[in-house]
């Protein structure tokens, strides 16, 4: 029978406790979410600054619709590049201190587009072993030679680069904040190695923009590095900024090259102008409202302190992403289900998203949370882990 592997692989997923399905959430993103008529404290959202349901942004989206309409009507190179796309791009350039920006519909699309665009048969792509699936998949399908360096291991990265000193085009890619581990890349060392080895450096800052650095400028600013040290900077608007879409920033020449030769950019309908107007307003709030980052930092410290007292097996992270290592997929799934029965929504992350035997609960903290939510979470986590270990 044609495509019989579909049923076989789905059966295997279920047997290995790896099967996934979409969950229908009712209402808005926020401190609580509603699923199947039940309310849960939400510890699985990437809405780090609590902007996804911010009334000012809801009104901004409505105003954007009134001013610019809903759909963009075409690709950016036809009729889809509205005045608002230009204005918000200029605003983002000023905020992030970058030379030029191209807008994309998603971070996944942006990551795949840049690898597909730049790398050819005799080029070298070097990626952190824990980079996002969008980067890894594009690297696998690329004609370039791809090598992976051990997570945040600069010695290993240096050795790989030395072995390819004669290669003309070399691209290093790392996440700024790693999406499943929550730890931060050694930005200064990455910049230094790239410069020493005549390589380009790309940073995927999907989980850093808005949260880290002065005025929320991201993981590069957090490390006191200049954006000019980063050849390609990718960031998304759907996490800390609470909206959607993504950007690639770099030199004026790079963005001009994207405009002319990147098929995912050239042939995709542009982001809706009302949405782009909302992105601009979200960026203003992220830049100006330091209290959101301060409150989030306080909650992260409180969670780590309580988890230490309760012997919760936290992985090392100082970001809003706080993974709790379970090991087996079954244990992670069982504890996630038990916590949902206690009114707490946490997500079990299992292979292939993470390496084998490192299944975890991915707890994410946001500005919307209260200290009482943190105490409830840690208390129930302790109960679940103790019960599961017997």
pLDDT digits (tens, 9 = 90+) for 230-275: 999 999 999 999 999 999 999 999 999 999 999 999 999 999 999 9
Q: Quick one: pLDDT band at residue 147, thresholds 50, 70, 90?
A: very high
* 327 has pLDDT over 90: no
Same structural domain, 302 and 193: no
Can you give the pTM of this predicted structure?
0.95
For residue 42, give the 3-state DSSP assignment: strand
Same structural domain, 314 and 227: no
Same structural domain, 132 and 216: yes
Q: Quick one: pLDDT band at residue 45, thresholds 50, 70, 90?
A: very high
Same structural domain, 108 and 252: yes
Same structural domain, 200 and 228: yes
For residue 25, give the 3-state DSSP assignment: strand
- Residue-level length of the chain: 390
Same structural domain, 311 and 367: yes
pLDDT of amino acid 388: 75
* 389 has pLDDT over 80: no
Cα(161)–Cα(132) distance, integer angstroms? 21
* 217 has pLDDT over 80: yes
Same structural domain, 96 and 214: yes
Instruction: State how far Cα 309 lies from the chain centre.
Output: 29
Residue 9 in domain: no
Contacts of 327 (CB under 8 A, 6+ apart): 357, 358, 359
Handedness of CA 220, 224, 227, 231 (dihedral sign): negative
Active-site residues: which are they?
A: 46, 132, 175, 179, 204, 207, 239
pLDDT digits (tens, 9 = 90+) for 192-210: 999 999 999 999 999 999 9
Question: Which of 261, 288, 315 finishes a domain?
Answer: 288
* 326 has pLDDT over 70: yes
Residue 42 in domain: yes
Residue 4 in domain: no
- pLDDT over 90 percentage in the chain: 87
DSSP secondary structure string, 111-129?
HHHHHHHH--TT-EEEEET
- For 292-313, what is the mean pLDDT? 97
Q: Lowest-confidence range among 3-12, 40-49, 147-156?
A: 3-12
Same structural domain, 250 and 385: no
User: Which carries the bigger pLDDT value, residue 331 or residue 161?
Assistant: 161
Contacts of 95 (CB under 8 A, 6+ apart): 215, 217, 283, 287
Question: Which of 248, 266, 288 finishes a domain?
Answer: 288
* 315 has pLDDT over 80: yes
DSSP secondary structure string, 75-101?
BTTTT---HHHHHHHHHHHHHHT-SEE
Residue 7 in domain: no
Cα(181)–Cα(187) distance, integer angstroms? 16
Residue 229 in domain: yes
Domain CATH for 206: 3.40.640.10
Range of the domain at 368: 17-49+290-389
Same structural domain, 294 and 282: no
pLDDT digits (tens, 9 = 90+) for 334-377: 999 999 999 999 989 888 888 888 899 999 999 999 999 999 99
Same structural domain, 237 and 281: yes
Question: Which of 288, 313, 330 finishes a domain?
Answer: 288
Residue 11 in domain: no
Task: Count the helix, strand and coil residues of the chain and give each as a percent rounded to the nearest 5.
Answer: 45, 20, 40
pLDDT of amino acid 390: 58
Number of domains the chain contains: 2
Nearest to 239 by CA among 206, 214, 266: 206
pLDDT of amino acid 328: 86
Domain CATH for 382: 3.90.1150.10
Same structural domain, 258 and 308: no
- For 119-129, what is the mean pLDDT? 97
Parallel, antiparallel, or unpaired: how do β-strands 232-236 and 38-42 relate? unpaired
pLDDT of amino acid 243: 98
Same structural domain, 296 and 176: no
Residue 231 in domain: yes
pLDDT of amino acid 22: 84
Average model confidence (pLDDT) for the chain?
95
Residue 5 in domain: no
């Amino acid at each position: 029978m044609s495509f019989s592997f579909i049923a076989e692989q789905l059966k295997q997923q279920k047997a290995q406790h790896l099967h996934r399905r979409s969950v229908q959430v009712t209402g808005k993103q926020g401190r609580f979410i509603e699923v199947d008529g039940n309310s849960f404290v939400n510890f699985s959202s990437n809405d780090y600054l609590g902007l996804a349901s911010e009334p000012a942004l809801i009104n901004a989206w409505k105003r954007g619709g009134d001013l610019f309409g809903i759909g963009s009507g075409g690709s950016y190179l036809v009729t889809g590049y509205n005045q608002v796309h230009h204005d918000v791009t200029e605003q983002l350039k000023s905020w992030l201190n970058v030379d030029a920006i191209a807008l994309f519909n998603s971070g996944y699309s942006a990551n795949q587009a840049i690898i597909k665009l730049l790398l050819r048969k005799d080029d070298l792509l070097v990626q952190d072993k824990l980079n996002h699936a969008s980067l890894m998949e594009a690297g696998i399908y690329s004609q370039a030679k791809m090598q992976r360096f051990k997570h945040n291991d600069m010695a290993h990265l240096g050795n790989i680069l030395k072995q390819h000193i004669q290669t003309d085009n070399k691209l290093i890619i790392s996440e700024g904040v790693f999406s499943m581990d929550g730890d931060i890349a050694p930005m200064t060392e990455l910049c230094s190695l790239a410069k020493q080895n005549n390589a380009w450096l790309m940073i995927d800052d999907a989980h850093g923009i808005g949260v880290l650095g002065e005025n929320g400028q991201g993981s590069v600013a957090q490390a006191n590095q200049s954006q000019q040290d980063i050849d390609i900077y990718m960031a998304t608007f759907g996490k800390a900024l609470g909206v959607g879409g993504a950007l690639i920033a770099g030199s004026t020449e790079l963005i001009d090259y994207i405009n002319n030769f990147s098929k995912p950019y050239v042939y995709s309908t542009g982001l809706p102008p009302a949405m782009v107007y909302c992105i601009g307003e979200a960026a203003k709030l992220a830049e100006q409202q330091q209290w959101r980052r301060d409150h989030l930092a306080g909650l992260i410290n409180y969670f780590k302190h309580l988890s230490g007292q309760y012997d919760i097996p936290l992985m090392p992270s100082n970001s809003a992403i706080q993974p709790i290592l379970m090991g087996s997929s079954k244990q992670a799934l069982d504890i996630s289900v038990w916590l949902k029965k206690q009114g707490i929504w946490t997500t079990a992350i299992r292979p292939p998203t993470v390496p084998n035997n490192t299944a975890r609960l991915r707890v994410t903290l946001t500005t919307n949370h209260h200290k009482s939510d943190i105490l409830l979470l840690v208390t129930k986590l302790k109960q679940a882990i103790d019960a599961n270990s017997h």
